[in-house]
Structures are given as structure tokens and as C-alpha cells.
Amino acid sequence: MNFFDKFLTPLSAQHIVLLHFMLMLIFSLFIPFVGLITGGSFFSYFFYKKGKRENSPDYIRFSKEIIEIVKINKSMGVVLGFITLLTSILIYIQLLSLSEITSIIYLIISLFVIIAGLLLTYNSFTSKFGFIFLLISIWIFVAGITIPIYKNIITPNDSIINIMFSSIVIFKFITVLLLSGVFTGSTILFIYFYWNGGRNNINDKYALFIKHFAIRLTFSSIIILPLFLFVDLVKIPNDALSVSVFVYSSLAIAVIFVTYHFLYIMSREKNSNFSLQIFVSAILIIILFVIKDQISFDNATELRTVEMSSLYSINMDKLTGANKAPKISGEDIYKNICSSCHSFDHKVVGPPYKQTLPKYKGNVDKLVVFILHPTQNNPGYPPMPNPGLKPDQAKAVATYILNEVKKYE
């Protein structure tokens, strides 16, 4: 166990579920906001330069308006960009118990970079540095949340360069940028053409330019998202995959197709206005992506969860004296359940304990985790079915067999 783990109390299974749920909520606020402010500051800078170069007051005006829209206001910036990320880091520390410190370090660095990016963006009208910092912070953030899931592609021990430039981190980074494009485009549509009845202090030419730009931005970002979802499903490791990952990915694809439709009609028919529908769909798409990724994260760290919650039950039992009542006998459990497949010194269905237990010597907790959640460890044997024990029973039998096997050394 990691050194830092000593400072953390194990969490109950319910507590862990709650933390995963909170992460979904927090990321459903953080990712749209950061996507919007990054997209907005980029296009604000882009149109400022273009306006200067082509001497077009419309571009300059749009550049100013766009950045005002995405900034919302300073306190929103602090809450949505900073507090959310800080809270999610605290949750990651709890969930990973610092066993995967690399992931947490990346998240902490991304927090500092995003602070710089937000300060620059909020304190000047167009800042390319603000945009660059925000972009880098998203990249590092994505690396942080990707490491615990894609253990088949990157390991926490890889160098920073290997992690940041690994195909999967780049892939996830581009996915977030596409989501950012979708959300920025649809927010512009929403603010100019729906919010408070739409902006009416704008002339037709300016309105048309904004409508075309926002539809094109949303459409070009959304068009390849289904492909990204598909590749993601192919690349995701088995232990992070589950039926719900498929379900949420399919839902996202369905919403994406509906959004195509709205965008298409709105770009074709002069008087149609689907700004609200497109905006709501964009939010829904981001939330579905967040849920899907959090479920994969939950699946990928399941072993860790079993370990933590069983330690929790053991601690609770100690505190409440529950294990003193009817004493659980490791020997009974061994004789009634395990001995049908195991013996200490010869092969039955499973391998002899003499051969498999030495690696658990001095590490009962690891053996408890195996018993609660068997994995395939020995080539040439079928996988062990889950014996369905409670954590305290697993602990009792683990202690018993580790003690007993000494006789065969």
C-alpha cells in the first residue's frame, strides 16, 4: 500500500458511489465551461486579428461580444473553472487513495495552468496567451483523467512526454476540443437568436454572418464526433467496459444525429430557428460523454473500490465489535467452500496453496481483495468463480490459509 494511504480512511461502498456521482455533476459543469471559454477566447482573438487586417468593424464587434458572452462574469469563472476542478481533485485523491499519484499530479498542474489562463482571459480583452494557457490546461487535465482508465495503453510510469503525446491522450484531447467547438457554436446561436428573444440591436447582415459562423462551427465539430465515440469503444480496455458504456455512447450518437437535423434545417431555411434545441442538445451530448467516461473510470478502478470498501467494513467491524459476536471461523469457511477446489499441497480444481500463497505472505489485504474479486492469475487453470463471501469472512479465511500454509513450507 502507498505511503500516503495511511492518511486516508477507507471509504464505504456507498460513499464511493456518491463520489463518482459527484464527479459526473462537477464535470458536467466544468467541461462545458472550460470548452466555452477556450473556444470563445480563440475566436475572439481570431476575429480581432481578422477585423484589423480586413478593416472590418463587424469582425471587431463580434470579437468583443463573443468574449463577453463566454466569460459570463468573474465569479462564475471562479466557480465553474476553479472550484469545480479543485473539488474534483479532492475526489480523485479519495477515490485513487493516491495509489495513482501520477494522475493526481497532472490534475493539480492543470489547476495551476487554468488559473493562469483564466486570469489572463478575464483581465484583458483579447489575449492569445489566455487561450494558449487554457488549451494546455485542458490537455494536462485530459491526461490526468485518462491515465487511470487506459492502463492498456499508458502506464503512470511513462515519462511526461510519452503520456502527453500518447495516441490516447491526444485522441481524448481532440474529443474535448470538438465538444468545445460544439458548445461554443451552439451557445453563440442561443445567445444571439434565442436568449431574451434574441439580440435585436443587430442588423440583418451582421445577424446572417453570426448565424452562418455559429452553424458552421457547431456542424464541423459535431460531424466527426460519432467516429470518435466508435474509436473510443474500440480502444477502451476490457476492465473499463460495461453495458452502460455502450448505452451512453449510443444515446450520445442519437442526440448527435438529431442535432445534425436541427443544424441542417436552420442553415437551409431562412426563418427557422432551432437555437434552443441545438443548445440543449449540445449540453446533453457533453453530459453523456461525461457519464460514459465516469462509468469507464468507475469500472477501471473497481478493484481499488473493492479493496477500499472491504478495509472499511473490517474497520467498522472492529469499531462496532461486530466481529466479536458469533466468531467467524476461517477454518470452517475453508472446509465448507474452498476445499472443494483447493488443497494445500496438491492440485484439485485450483492450484495448490503451497504454490500460490507465498506471494501473499505478509499481505492479507491483497489476498482478501483476490478472494472478494478473483482474477485470472495462474495460466493453465480456469478462472476462479467468485465465492460470494463478505469482507470479514474473506479476511478470516485469508488469515487462516496464510497461517496454515506455513506447515507446508
Per CB under 6 A, residues contacting ligand HEC are 333, 337-338, 340-342, 349-351, 356-357, 370-371, 376-378, 381-385, 387, 389, 397, 401
153, 199 contact by CB (below 8 A)? no
249, 229 contact by CB (below 8 A)? yes
Q: How far apart are CA 48 and CA 53, in angstroms?
A: 9
Name the residue nearer to ligand HEC (CB basis): 74 or 347.
Answer: 347
Q: How far apart are CA 102 and CA 202, in angstroms?
A: 50
Question: CA distances (Å), 206 to each of 200, 272, 387, in order?
Answer: 11, 17, 69
Q: How far is the CB of 379 from ligand HEC (least distance, A)?
A: 7
How many CB atoms lie under 10 A from the CB of residue 396?
Answer: 22
Q: How far is the CB of 343 from ligand HEC (least distance, A)?
A: 11
Q: How far apart are CA 155 and CA 151, in angstroms?
A: 6
Q: How far is the CB of 137 from ligand HEC (least distance, A)?
A: 41
Name the residue nearer to ligand HEC (CB basis): 295 or 402.
Answer: 402
Name the residue nearer to ligand HEC (CB basis): 266 or 357.
Answer: 357
240, 294 contact by CB (below 8 A)? no
SS3 content of the chain, % helix, strand, coil (to 5): 75, 0, 25
Name the residue nearer to ligand HEC (CB basis): 134 or 333.
Answer: 333
Q: How far is the CB of 345 from ligand HEC (least distance, A)?
A: 14
Name the residue nearer to ligand HEC (CB basis): 189 or 333.
Answer: 333
Q: How far apart are CA 323 and CA 329, in angstroms?
A: 11
Q: How far is the CB of 41 from ligand HEC (least distance, A)?
A: 52
Give me Rg for the CA atoms of the chain: 27
Q: How far apart are CA 402 and CA 409, in angstroms?
A: 11
Question: CA distances (Å), 98 to each of 3, 107, 191, 292, 304, in order?
Answer: 9, 12, 42, 23, 11
Name the residue nearer to ligand HEC (CB basis): 39 or 351.
Answer: 351
114, 79 contact by CB (below 8 A)? no
Q: How far is the CB of 408 from ligand HEC (least distance, A)?
A: 14
Name the residue nearer to ligand HEC (CB basis): 57 or 388.
Answer: 388
Q: How far is the CB of 356 from ligand HEC (least distance, A)?
A: 4
List the Cα angle 289/248/214 in 5-degree steps.
45
Q: How far is the CB of 322 from ligand HEC (least distance, A)?
A: 20
Q: How far is the CB of 100 from ligand HEC (least distance, A)?
A: 21
Name the residue nearer to ligand HEC (CB basis): 222 or 405.
Answer: 405
Q: How far apart are CA 112 and CA 329, in angstroms?
A: 52
Name the residue nearer to ligand HEC (CB basis): 162 or 378.
Answer: 378
12, 312 contact by CB (below 8 A)? yes
